[in-house]
Amino acid sequence: MITQQTQIKINLPVALKDFLESKASKFGLPLASYVKHLILKDVEDMDYPIFEASDSTIKAYKKALKDKDKAIEVKDIDEFFKNL
């Protein structure tokens, strides 16, 4: 499973960056991995947020299940859209 990724940029005082790099090297980690580890440790006791689907999403889901026997297999997506 591929997890979506994002990047963040933070500004740190040079002394703090040096300290973090020193700590990261003690564990044999790059700075980014060490910071990720710190964030994961900070949120490990939190429940992952679960969101309710909207009424329109539920309605579309039910319609798709009902109409699944009308589904077609598309072998060439470009050709399919060209012929619409």
* CA atoms of 21 and 31, how far apart (whole Å): 6
pLDDT at 11 over 80: yes
* Backbone φ, ψ for residue 56 (5° rounding): -70, -35
Which residues constitute the domain of residue 20? Answer: 14-82
Q: Give the count of domains, the chain.
A: 1
pLDDT at 55 over 90: yes
Give the confidence band of 50 by pLDDT, cuts at 50, 70, 90. Answer: confident
Query: Is the residue at 7 inside a domain?
Result: no
* CA atoms of 68 and 62, how far apart (whole Å): 10
Structure tokens belonging to residue 14: 């040079």
Query: Is the residue at 5 inside a domain?
Result: no
Other CB atoms within a 10 A radius of the CB of residue 20 amount to 15
Query: Is the residue at 4 inside a domain?
Result: no
pLDDT at 8 over 90: yes
pLDDT tens, residue by residue, 66-75? 999 998 889 9
